[in-house]
Amino acid sequence: MCIWHGMRLGEMVQLFRKRPRLHWSRWNRIATLPVLGVYNSIMATIETAIYARRLQRTELKGPPIFVLGMWRSGTTLLHNLMTRDERHTTPTMYRTLFPWHFLLTEKVATRATSWLIPKSRPMDNVPMSWDAPQEDDIALCIMTLLSPYTYLVNPDDRDLHWRNLDFADVPPAQVEQWKQAFQLLLKKITLRDQKRVVVKSPPHMCRIPLLLEMFPDAKFVYIRRNPYNVFRSSVHLRRTMVHENGLGLPDVPDLESEILRTCRVTYDCYERDRELIPHENLHELRFEDLEVDPLGEIEKVYESLNLGGFDDVSEILRPEIPQLRRYKKNAFKNDPHWMNVVYEELQDQFERYGYPSPFEELEASAA
């Protein structure tokens, strides 16, 4: 199963017009696309006939809560903790892979196919299931192709990646299409669960003005992590995602340089636009602190954003803390060249937020 298997036939035609990289070794993935495209198109048509009027009347249960942060900065952990609140709901793995018809198919399909899902994610050993929280940008990629994740089928098309990161050069009509798809996704989740929606996607760091235009009272939680650790883990993540979702050979040219550029651009977007968010609607934290004291850091989030109800949330989270502490992160080798390059390029982030240089951290860990 890959991202593209959630598309209708129309989106699949658009995808292939972008001339994705293809290779015979991915024949089974490619061959099943039209079959699932027909299935998704039929199910989407039926769902629309059943739910269209109800969706038009559906209102969100409060402004969305956005979890912001670079890829590999701890957004998944934070997202998982925030969605343990029984008053919250979120895009799940099934909902993001099959956004066109999950209202119709989710209950039956998730039970019938749960055995197909790996027990953990291939990039970091985080537990997986159809019900696990997932990035809304996966669904939006399937629905609109306006997502940096389109690089997964054509890693050579760098312009497409950057255009879909911040929408700066995307025509207004296409941005409007994206907004409508996002609203539809959130309404569908709300209709199903009748709860406040918590969403997490790293590209949203570059879309803060657009998100505030759509949801002026939205809450934002931003998590940061040592930039060098973000870089190392992001290189591994992108290789894994291309391998798991590509339709061609999984080689990614100049991967490290592209990851570093993504870090630079995304950090700059956030630093530029964070002041647009009302102070009472933004909370920032460090992954390193969340890792040490998950309960304490989540309590700060709830107090800062005036979310209320933390006593009930703490009762749910407290028994889960020992398991979180047993989780082992991936280990990566240090490359002196990239240690130096990353520090030089992102020095402002290291210094502004009190992170040691990669060499200082290496010396401290060896002491």
Q: pLDDT tens digit string along 222-261?
A: 999 999 999 999 998 888 888 888 898 877 778 899 999 9
At 326 the pLDDT is 67
At 81 the pLDDT is 96
At 161 the pLDDT is 75
At 224 the pLDDT is 97
At 321 the pLDDT is 86
Taking the domains of the chain in order of start, what are their residue ranges? 3-332
Pick the CATH number of 3-332 from 1.10.10.10, 3.40.50.300, 3.30.40.10, 3.30.450.40: 3.40.50.300
Which regions of the chain are under pLDDT 70?
121-125, 325-332, 365-367
pTM: 0.93
In the 3-class helix/strand/coil scheme, how is the chain assigned residue by residue? CCHHHHCCHHHHHHHHHCCCCCCHHHHHHHHHHHHHHHHHHHHHHHHHHHHHHHHHHCCCCCCCEEEECCCCCCHHHHHHHHCCCCCEECCEHHHHHCCCCHHHHHHHHHHHHHHHCCCECCCCCCECCCCCECCHHHHHHHHHCCCHHHHHCCCCCHHHHHHHHHCCCCCHHHHHHHHHHHHHHHHHHHHHHCCEEEEECHHHHHCHHHHHHHCCCCEEEEEECCHHHHHHHHHHHHHHHHHHHCCCCCCCCCHHHHHHHHHHHHHHHHHHHHHHCCHHHEEEEEHHHHHHCHHHHHHHHHHHCCCCCHHHHHHHHHHHHHHHHHCCCCCCCCCHHHHHHHHHHCHHHHHHCCCCCHHHHHHHHHC
At 128 the pLDDT is 79
At 162 the pLDDT is 79
